[in-house]
Amino acid sequence: MNANELFNRIVKEYSERIWWIARRFVNSHEDADDLTQDIFLKIWTALPSFRGEAQLFTWVYRIALNEAMDRLRREKVRAALRFASLDAEMERRIDNDPWFDGTPAERALSKAVAALPEKQRQVFILRYYDEMPYEEMSQILDTSVGALKASYHIAREKVEAVLKEEAAGLNL
Amino acid sequence: MAKKCGIQTPDGYFDSLQSRLVSIAETAPSVRKVGFARKVAPYFAYAASLVAAVLLGSFILRKTAVPEEEYSAWEENLVAEVLMSADPYALIFDSETVNP
């Protein structure tokens, strides 16, 4: 299989899943579109270095997560230069998202996830939204299954606490 | 399939996304692996240019250096006498004072 064929295969098999991962990280349809194109451009340029030592799935996801994290770090710097916070920016995006058609609880869930520390956010997004098995996640993030389960547990507790607070606020 | 949790997408979005992504292979230049020789070649080039600069500089300096003037025998004696008379110890220790 030549590079073009392999790339087309990757696009066909993974583009939608990668887009959803990007969407969860950047909380905006347009930014997710942009980030997804950046991810696949990176995949295309890195294809010559892929020797099949890792599973294609692991390799693709690793690139996607690295690109997403890099983008968020750059956005954090830009926000800081405007004396703003990235957390506030993410909340604003989630509140004003024209493509969101869910419940207030789902909106609160997105905000709670956006506020998680980097590693916990990655684990939560992959586990909860993408329903990825821990064994696959372990290969992508190069972390033990036990550590991932612990991360997810902590992240889930934080998210639940935020949702309970939100629900209590609505009930008052 | 990922949980959507309230997020929607335009109709046909993923089909158009795939088309756009596939076109990356057509428009973006492919990256070829750079071999070891090509990676170290610039360093050899820098080293070679440094050596060339040193050699050229030495050559130019040698060619443009002002040669030491050559004195005639008369001029050498004159210089010797001037040096002797300028030397205070020569006044004290000349042959007439040492051997009166």
- In sequence order, the 6+-apart residues with CB closer than 8 A to the CB of B94 are none
- A71 and A114 in a single domain? The answer is no
Interface of A with B in 47-86 (CB under 8 A): 47-49
Among A81, A101, A121, residue at a domain's last position: A101
Residue of chain B whose alpha carbon sits nearest to that of A44: B25
DSSP-based three-state secondary structure for B7: strand
Domain that holds residue A151: 102-172
Count how many domains chain A has: 2
pLDDT in tens, A112-165: 999 999 999 999 999 999 999 999 999 999 999 999 999 999 999 999 999 998
Q: Classify the C-alpha dihedral B38-B39-B40-B42 as positive or negative.
A: positive
- Domain CATH code at residue A39: 1.10.1740.10
- A46 and A107 in a single domain? The answer is no
- A26 and A90 in a single domain? The answer is yes
- A59 and A125 in a single domain? The answer is no
| Structure tokens belonging to residue A71 | 């983008």
To the nearest whole angstrom, how far is the Cα of A80 from the nearest Cα of chain B? 28
Q: What are phi and psi for residue B62, nearest 5 degrees?
A: -65, -40
Ordered by start, the domain boundaries in chain B are 34-98
pLDDT reported for residue A172: 44
Q: Does B33 touch chain A (CB under 8 A)?
A: yes
To the nearest whole angstrom, how far is the Cα of A90 from the nearest Cα of chain B? 15
pLDDT tens sequence for chain B (100 residues): 567 888 999 999 999 999 999 998 888 765 555 556 666 777 788 888 889 999 998 888 888 877 666 667 777 777 677 766 666 565 455 555 545 4
Q: What is the ipTM of this complex?
A: 0.84
pLDDT reported for residue A120: 96
- A92 and A160 in a single domain? The answer is no
- A117 and A166 in a single domain? The answer is yes
Q: Does B21 touch chain A (CB under 8 A)?
A: yes
- A97 and A137 in a single domain? The answer is no
Q: Does A105 touch chain B (CB under 8 A)?
A: no
- In sequence order, the 6+-apart residues with CB closer than 8 A to the CB of A35 are A22, A25, A26, A67, A68, A71
Among A70, A101, A132, residue at a domain's last position: A101
Q: Does A19 touch chain B (CB under 8 A)?
A: yes
